[in-house]
Amino acid sequence: MSEPILIATIMRPDGVTGVQTHFRAFSSYLADHGHSTRLITPFNLQQWQVYPVFAVRKLIDLFNGSLSVWWYRYWHAMFLKIALQRAVTNDKSCVIYAQCPLSADAALRARWSDMQRVVMVVHFNISQAEEWVEKGKISVGSPLFESIRLFESAVLPNLDGLVFVSEFMRLELIKRIPAIEKVPFQVIPNFLRDPGLAQDSTTTARDLICIGTLEPRKNQHYAIEIVAAAKSINRTLTLTIVGDGPCRSELELLCQQLGVSDQIKFTGFVKNGSTLLSQHRACFHVAQIENLPLTLIEALAYGKPIFAPAVGGIPEVFSDEVEGKVIPLNDAKAAAQLIVAWLDSDNVMKEAGIAARERYLSSFEETVIARKLLDFLRN
């Protein structure tokens, strides 16, 4: 019997983040193919143990963002370690597939045998410290910011393996933590179960859809500026913004100021928001930095062309002029002109859609990529 794979995360089992989508997709693949697997989270413990402690953070968050982050990290890691200690008691040999540095550290502390291997997937952008900065909770150079980066530098070199979802992030992380070069690794992108090719709905579709949390890093204000720039050259673009977050009110205000409120629809949070891709002609993404955005892979799966900047790992998702078009991040008018030219060419859009679907099937489809991940974890 093959050794079990324990997927360790400090996050809730249910949720819409790319991390949660990743571990649920892999867990489903393992279960469907008869492999022993368990998802281990802090929420495996009794509710009376964890929920009162987690609830305190909501109060702390009202007056001290930095303390709120520390509280979140400390207690989620603590409870995960306890849950992992219980999970590995009867498994002398297993693989613990950690979803973040905190989960990896909890796994290293919980294991009791060298045959219990800990492998971590790098989902974060540069560092988890930067991600908390982007959320406005801590500041660059603050004591907590520096401690998170030091923590990652101490934990990652001690792992039995690393999975990078993009070559971009592998190179970036090696620059910051050279010691990880000795850790066995493989670059394995995010993947999705095939949703099936959506029916052509171009006659009733809106133009563009942008999916993601409404926060500064996702840069949705630039998407709105591009819609306004298109209007200035007498081309009306329709845009659906899917997601919620701290920037929503200012984004809605910007729509009013630029006179495009009637062209832009805010849906708020939508469960399984990717299903809305079938109602749009193309996927629009304007984030300033990304590791390997799952939204773009979802667009490929639905056979939708992509408009996005060449930042982070995005060039590893699609090729310019093939599955989509690379747009500049510093010139809304130029970006608008590129997008309009593509949208107004039915042949270009059709060919890009076909190429998008083919790229998904060859590079991001579940049965192709999940098998590679399983092989790496086993071997």
Sequence-ordered alpha helix ranges (H) in 189-282: 220-232, 248-258
Q: Nearest 5 degrees, angle CA 225-CA 226-CA 232?
A: 90
Task: List the domains of the chain with CATH numbers.
Answer: 5-191+365-378 (3.40.50.2000), 206-363 (3.40.50.2000)
Please state whether the predicted TM-score (pTM) of the whole model is above 0.85. yes
The pLDDT, as a whole number, for residue 201 is 47
Mean pLDDT for each 10-residue chunk of the chain (379 residues)? Answer: 90 89 94 94 93 93 95 97 94 94 98 95 94 91 97 98 97 96 97 77 76 92 98 96 94 97 96 92 94 94 97 96 97 97 96 97 95 94
Of 133, 100, 135, 97, the residue nearest 117 (C-alpha): 97
CA distances from 51 to 54, 103, 162 (A): 5, 19, 31
Task: Give 5's strand partners.
Answer: 37, 95
Q: Concatenated DSSP letters for 84-119? A: HHHHTTT-SSEEEEESSHHHHHHHHHH--STTEEEE
For residues 25 and 193, the answer to whether their CB atoms sit within 8 Å is yes
